[in-house]
Chains A and B, each alone.
Chain A
């Protein structure tokens, strides 16, 4: 802590900060551009000047850049100094020299940091009277728009893209007053984190193309605090709606989970919500080949009630992409004994194992933010960028943090970004990745290319080296032994080693190996951590809730032990081979499916109930940390589409249960649904506290979903009816579907639909909501951890697996894919455009044996042909296949490749 004096006032600040950071944390406004809380200072824009005095006697002082000046104890500065003020005005005036002044047609307008800073510095008269320079733009792919004329050369884009996120295809070109930021040649930006440029760029150079396609000003959007449903990371998002469709997704600051950044799957994968082919009203058909009849809600409920009453036994199949509330209502409807999680058995076994390890392996699970403080990492059998998007950025920062350690010795502060970069060069904290093919993190990692069983054996060997009482691995080859030694040495030399593993390869052996390492590290009382990656938004939650695996459900049906089926937001064909699913569905006379998308499973429904998507309802998910987080309804679909009958699945299922019990219709509210679930499972007890309930008020007010300046509300429904109904009432949440209500920043708030503070319209406004910039929300970061390590080491060591016997069979190794590897986001057009051409990866040996070479096309079953890619260090015996391509092929499934059509 340090005391600094600003404009004659004394304040207590964090002495490790720079002055800009410290002042912003105090709520004082200093304009800035190049500094970013996550990326530190570089002193390029010169916008943040203040006057600094040497000591109490100095009345001269000199102008300094606050971002480059440490907030040392007894620092004296004036922000309001006249010369500093006029200098800051000059800086904005210079930045605006070549700016096109095209705010009215600019997509950044209304949430533009440059606009905010221009107003803040008082620059409102243009004195430059000469010609402006103009630039050509590039097509940067389906995600990001490019308008270089608006560039103010703050260098934030390249600093984020290259230094922070590890991209290599964006650069700063040229020099003097002609620096161009773009790709070295036109083309799609390659980084999976490119979307953050839209928020990192303080002006309208890099904008969200998916937003441009149906553009709306920030002030005209309706928001709610939401959680990304596209993987298990649980990033907090702020989706914006207008006219009944989602227009964009912005990052919602969370101090522990996602900070300022999202991955591109999460940001650009929302298009499925807006698809016109979504089921919008209940559909019924007696025979599969019939065209479905549309039903009203009551008729649909009656129909289903009737059918279910006559059924011998009803199986409920839940979903790891649906909320806990919805899954619980399904379970209530069908009964515990008839409930399946909807997750394939091997994956479920892994999920259960992971929950167990998180409790018993002796190590806590760090938050994503805390991951960045770990100084040696082993990733066992995961490719985090592909399987958990945003997590990859955290892991990368952990590797880069070596610079900070080096800087400490020379008193280089952690915010002095370029100095640390120079100092660090290419030395990183050790980051070992055991994974069979290249990963996005390779540039800062040491990768060990191994087959799944070998990854597990490597892990067991590492554990044995760390703690000799952990079982040894038989017949380990020298290379693996040396690798294990190197990894063990790195983990043991670190203060805070971290083990990362997960369910991607659905290998319990890998998880057991990770568990052994975790336990071994905990024996050494290291401040170590364990992170386990799950696949889907609510995989962790479903495993906590429990239930039979999907295979069981299909078996019960296939064997005639049940004749009715209710499927919740789950495409069974994604999870098990089509034959198996077909066989089961064929035996079910009643097939009720709830979903917000059309899938091969909904195509088989006798009754299809249109479910609300995440944007249209609320619920709770549990992320890969074990953090229960609530997402809230962004908009009420029926308001602008009165014909739509979209309801939360928990709503549908509850109504069905009521109707089945023959009770009079009775609505359930979110809080009740949440409470019921929390009470039903001790493992989920904490979920009710994940967010405030519907009665939550600030200053007696509900919370506004719409910004103050929301326009056109009274005309919103004019095309339907000139009589304007009152805005939809929301009994489920504390949020109002209007601008009435609290939307300020001055009262601590945990659930913030959109960030706005007077004078701060851009995402930089988040800094007004945090305890210190880059810190935690003043109202507390949202969510509640449900999984805690059990005290004492209850876990035991697992026995290593044997090396696989050599066979000629080729087994499938499904590789996760950020773009195209996830069911719902794959339905979004920009994600489809961004999905890379898939191929089958083979080792040189297998390729030779099969007389195949790179480029040859092979048939991999289900009528899919793919080109072959022969990769030198790929493990023999495995065929690498991209996830999400061939539905129902499981990890490790035996594959027969047959020659495909010629290209």
Chain B
């Protein structure tokens, strides 16, 4: 996904939704009986552009969908892949579920922590990577598995990591 790097998000009225994002949200709304159903997708639309969902976006989404900000926030904070804090340019999701756990997850996780210098929920100082655990990636025959942005990898060994991480600038 193309992200416009750090455009001004906020004007005096609050959050500036990009016109095409609003259009995309409105298009999503047509898929459902109620506008509320487009909430998760709307959050993802904002996140695709900004990497995360800034506070001001909650109100903006609420306005587009015609629902209460509290209702948007209660959804935004429920789902693990909606980020309500700034994250790095790339999201590293490490699968910590049973198959991976039984097939080298500990070593892989340790290698990630060592190489990135961060633990779960943290972002590297250069804003490049954020590390998070994820539910079973459905790649158990490729355990241990991880996902960087939209790409799933597995099996990944500690030795694979430097080159792999290097390819995400």
Is there direct touching of A and B in the complex, by C-beta distance under 8 Å?
A: yes
Binding site for B on A (CB under 8 A): 168-175, 180, 183-185, 425-426
Q: Is the CB of A174 within 8 A of B68?
A: no
Q: Is the CB of A171 within 8 A of B34?
A: no
Which of A175, A184, A425, A426 has a CB less than 8 Å from the CB of B73?
Answer: A184
Q: A169-B68, A185-B69 are known contacts; what are 5 more A-B pairs with Cβ within 8 Å?
A: A168-B71, A171-B68, A173-B73, A184-B74, A185-B55
Give Cα A168 to B72, complex, Å.
11
Closest to B71 in A: A171
Q: Is the CB of B70 within 8 A of A426?
A: no
Chain A nearest CB from B155 CB (Å) reads 29
Instruction: Give 20 pairs: A residue, B residue, CB < 8 Å, sorted on A.
Output: A168-B68, A168-B70, A168-B71, A170-B70, A171-B70, A171-B71, A172-B74, A173-B77, A173-B78, A174-B77, A174-B78, A175-B77, A184-B69, A184-B72, A184-B73, A184-B74, A185-B55, A185-B69, A425-B34, A426-B34
Name the B residues within 8 Å of A180 (CB-CB). 77
Name the A residues within 8 Å of B33 (CB-CB). 425
In the complex, whether B65 has a CB less than 8 A from a CB of chain A is no
Name the B residues within 8 Å of A173 (CB-CB). 73-74, 77-78
Chain A nearest CB from B30 CB (Å) reads 17
Name the A residues within 8 Å of B137 (CB-CB). none
Name the B residues within 8 Å of A171 (CB-CB). 68, 70-71, 73-74
Give Cα A168 to B67, complex, Å.
9
Name the B residues within 8 Å of A184 (CB-CB). 58, 69-70, 72-74
Chain A nearest CB from B33 CB (Å) reads 8
Give Cα A313 to B94, complex, Å.
92
Chain A nearest CB from B55 CB (Å) reads 7
Give Cα A424 to B71, complex, Å.
18
Find residues 72-87 in chain B having any chain A CB closer than 8 Å to their own CB. 72-74, 77-78
Name the B residues within 8 Å of A174 (CB-CB). 77-78
Binding site for A on B (CB under 8 A): 33-34, 55, 58, 68-74, 77-78
Give Cα A426 to B66, complex, Å.
14
Closest to B72 in A: A184
6 tightest Cβ-Cβ pairs between the two chains A and B: A168-B68, A171-B70, A171-B74, A184-B73, A184-B70, A173-B77
Chain B nearest CB from A305 CB (Å) reads 62
Give Cα A174 to B73, complex, Å.
9
Give Cα A173 to B77, complex, Å.
6
Given contacts A175-B77, A175-B78, contact A169 B70 (CB under 8 A): yes
Give Cα A426 to B34, complex, Å.
9
Given contacts A425-B34, A426-B34, contact A183 B77 (CB under 8 A): no
Closest to B68 in A: A168
Name the B residues within 8 Å of A168 (CB-CB). 68, 70-71
Give Cα A180 to B68, complex, Å.
17
Name the B residues within 8 Å of A183 (CB-CB). 70
Name the A residues within 8 Å of B70 (CB-CB). 168-171, 183-184
Give Cα A180 to B70, complex, Å.
12
Give Cα A175 to B58, complex, Å.
18
Most buried by A among B69, B70, B71, B78: B70
Name the B residues within 8 Å of A172 (CB-CB). 74
Closest to A181 in B: B74
Give Cα A145 to B12, complex, Å.
31
Chain B nearest CB from A652 CB (Å) reads 51
Give Cα A184 to B74, complex, Å.
8
Give Cα A443 to B74, complex, Å.
20
Name the A residues within 8 Å of B71 (CB-CB). 168, 171
Name the A residues within 8 Å of B55 (CB-CB). 185
Name the B residues within 8 Å of A169 (CB-CB). 68-70
Give Cα A425 to B71, complex, Å.
15
Name the A residues within 8 Å of B77 (CB-CB). 173-175, 180
Most buried by A among B58, B68, B74: B74
Give Cα A425 to B32, complex, Å.
13
